[in-house]
Amino acid sequence: MAWSIELLAAAHRDRLLSFEERNREYFARSIPDRGDEFFTQFDHRLQVLLEAQDAGTDLFHVILGPEGGQPIIGRINLTDVDAGGASLGYRVAEAAAGRGVATWAVGRICEVAAGSYGLRTLTAEVSHENLASRRVLERNGFHVQGPATWDGGTGVRMRRFL
């Protein structure tokens, strides 16, 4: 395993856009599609993410694969960073699914969140249908805190103390 996680940077732009385009249909099977505007406004959206990151409210990361050129095989983000806690979200490319990437990345981001960012808790929301993602969270010490609802879905909120 030679995966790595890097803080999102403008230099990731082309690889990140390629990752999102290649996996659009795959992601849309389990979460609402981002729509065409996400892709036509990609540069603006990336700039907004980087500004939020600079402000310290969000910490966006890319998961890099072991292949030559280090393609992006996933994203893992800490959003709404405040008072020692953050919300966790992640997605892994279809080609990397089922290989332990998500489990590894969630474990690694928990280490980074505690060690580098000084966070004490992470929360994540997962749909009732996404059993694989729920298992990833459980393997990494997350426990159900209660129900969660969002546009287009319901599930559970999970938390881990770091």
pLDDT tens for the chain, 162 residues long, are 589 999 999 999 999 999 999 999 998 887 777 888 989 999 999 999 999 999 999 999 999 988 655 789 999 999 999 999 999 999 999 999 999 999 999 999 999 999 999 999 999 999 998 899 999 999 999 999 999 998 778 999 999 999
The pLDDT assigned to 56 comes to 93
Backbone dihedral angles phi then psi of residue 91, each to the nearest 5 degrees: -155, 140
Tell whether pTM > 0.75. yes
CB 80 within 8 A of CB 86: yes
The pLDDT assigned to 118 comes to 96
Taking the CA atoms of residue 114, residue 66, residue 48 and residue 59 in that order, the dihedral angle to the nearest 10 degrees is 0
Round to whole Å and give the CA distance between 91 and 51.
21
Could you identify the residue written with the tokens 């603006």? 44
CB 73 within 8 A of CB 97: no
Tell me the residue type at 85.
G
Cα four-point dihedral sign 122, 52, 12, 30: positive
Tokens of 59: 């910490």
The pLDDT assigned to 15 comes to 95
Q: Where are the domains of the chain?
A: 4-118
4-118 CATH: 3.40.630.30
Residue 141 falls in which region: left (phi positive, over 0), alpha (psi -120 to 50) or beta: left
Q: CA gyration radius for the chain?
A: 15
Closest alpha carbon to 120 in 80, 83, 146, 89: 83
Tokens of 8: 């999102």
